[in-house]
Amino acid sequence: MIICKTKSEIQGALAKRRQAGETIAAVPTMGALHEGHLSLIDVANEISDQVVATIFVNPLQFGANEDFGTYPRTVESDLELLKARGCNFAFTPDRNDLFPADFSTKISVAGVGEDHCALSRPQFFDGVATIVTKLLMILSPDVAVFGEKDYQQLAVIKRLVRDLDIATEIVGAPTVRESDGLAMSSRNQYLSVEERNVAPALYKALTAAAEKLHSADHNWSEIRDASIEQLLGAGFSSVDYLHFVDAFSLAHIEKVDRPGRLLAAAWIGKTRLIDNVPVEAA
């Protein structure tokens, strides 16, 4: 695996593969890699000749009171994991290489980038949209692979790539879960043993709610209220949101008359977890 720290290094390295006629898949990450990320490397390897993973904790997507400073940084072990998984290139840029002092451009995605996680993290998707666009411009990959675990993020990226006519195909890959159903996340390591025991209730509540939506005479607001009670009863401290949405537009819906998605964010102590499940059209 070739490790590049600068834009010019990675561009030079990838240009050679492209000239050799090979396709390139990108897997942008913030590091602190777990099996969820590594599954994206597998997907990327299946659909392209060369895989480039990026590791960069993007300051733009953290709010002032969020965990940018404490976000886990484990670059050395991340690189070992990527290499062992068959990743071909790792791009680990410096903040200064990506963001000159007078950097001043922002990409915003209305609609799919509003509501849901944007309610409590108003700057988050602008930050994601801007860094992902930059990485796609630097790497010019044929495809880029993102996890469905961050479902709204995936929708935002698909939308901006379509809207801006960026020549990269965006591929979503299924959420990888622990054996008890908890979606893998770099933030799971913030959880104490007690909190970790509470955490699987999020996926349980979502799957139960999705099932109830397929019962006759279901009422979404009743299902939602019961699910929130279930989460709080299981030990969650608070629920940011639990939304039933159109799987593509992320607009709120109440009926299973089209492909839908249940999206949720909830807190256990000081840790915010998100998860989502599909709701098939009836």
- The radius of gyration computed from the CA coordinates of the chain, to the nearest angstrom, equals 19
Show the CA angle centred on residue 25, arms to residues 32 and 140, nearest 5°. 105
Least distance to a second copy from the beta carbon of 162, Å?
8
Site for a second copy in 216-255 (CB under 8 A): 249
Q: Which stretch binds a second copy (CB under 8 A): 157-165, 184-192, 205-213, 233-241?
A: 157-165
Q: Is 117 exposed, middle or buried (0-12, 13-18, 19+ CB in 10 A)?
A: buried
Exactly one of 1, 75, 118, 166 binds a second copy (CB under 8 A); which one?
166
Least distance to a second copy from the beta carbon of 174, Å?
25
Q: Which is nearer to a second copy, 160 or 184 (by Cβ)?
A: 160
Q: Which is nearer to a second copy, 238 or 249 (by Cβ)?
A: 249
Alpha carbons 84 and 92: distance in angstroms, whole number: 17
Alpha carbons 231 and 200: distance in angstroms, whole number: 10
Q: Based on the shown chain and the rule CB under 8 A, indicate whether residue 109 belongs to the binding site for a second copy.
A: yes
- Expressed in angstroms, the distance from the first to the final Cα of the chain is 46
Between the alpha carbon of residue 254 and those of residues 110, 214, 221, 265, the distances in Å are 22, 11, 8, 19
Q: Which stretch binds a second copy (CB under 8 A): 27-35, 156-164, 220-228, 233-241?
A: 156-164
Q: Which is nearer to a second copy, 160 or 253 (by Cβ)?
A: 160
Q: Which long-range contacts (CB under 8 A, 24 or more apart) does 270-274 make?
A: 270/190, 271/187, 271/190, 271/191, 271/195, 272/187, 272/240, 273/183, 273/185, 273/187, 273/188, 273/199, 273/202, 274/117, 274/149, 274/150, 274/183, 274/185
Site for a second copy in 119-148 (CB under 8 A): 129-130, 133-134, 137-138, 140
Q: Based on the shown chain and the rule CB under 8 A, indicate whether residue 7 belongs to the binding site for a second copy.
A: yes
* Annotation says 37 is catalytic: yes
Q: Which is nearer to a second copy, 112 or 253 (by Cβ)?
A: 112
3-class DSSP assignment, residue 25: strand
Least distance to a second copy from the beta carbon of 88, Å?
21
Strand duo 143-147 + 89-91: pairing: unpaired
Alpha carbons 265 and 240: distance in angstroms, whole number: 5
Q: Which is nearer to a second copy, 57 or 129 (by Cβ)?
A: 129
Exactly one of 20, 110, 193, 216 binds a second copy (CB under 8 A); which one?
110
Least distance to a second copy from the beta carbon of 31, Å?
20
Q: Based on the shown chain and the rule CB under 8 A, indicate whether residue 167 belongs to the binding site for a second copy.
A: yes
Alpha carbons 123 and 118: distance in angstroms, whole number: 7
Residue among 34, 37, 218, 243 flagged as catalytic = 37
Exactly one of 105, 193, 216, 221 binds a second copy (CB under 8 A); which one?
105
The binding site for a second copy (CB under 8 A) comprises: 7, 100, 102-113, 129-130, 133-134, 137-138, 140, 159-160, 162-167, 249
* Catalytic residue IDs: 37
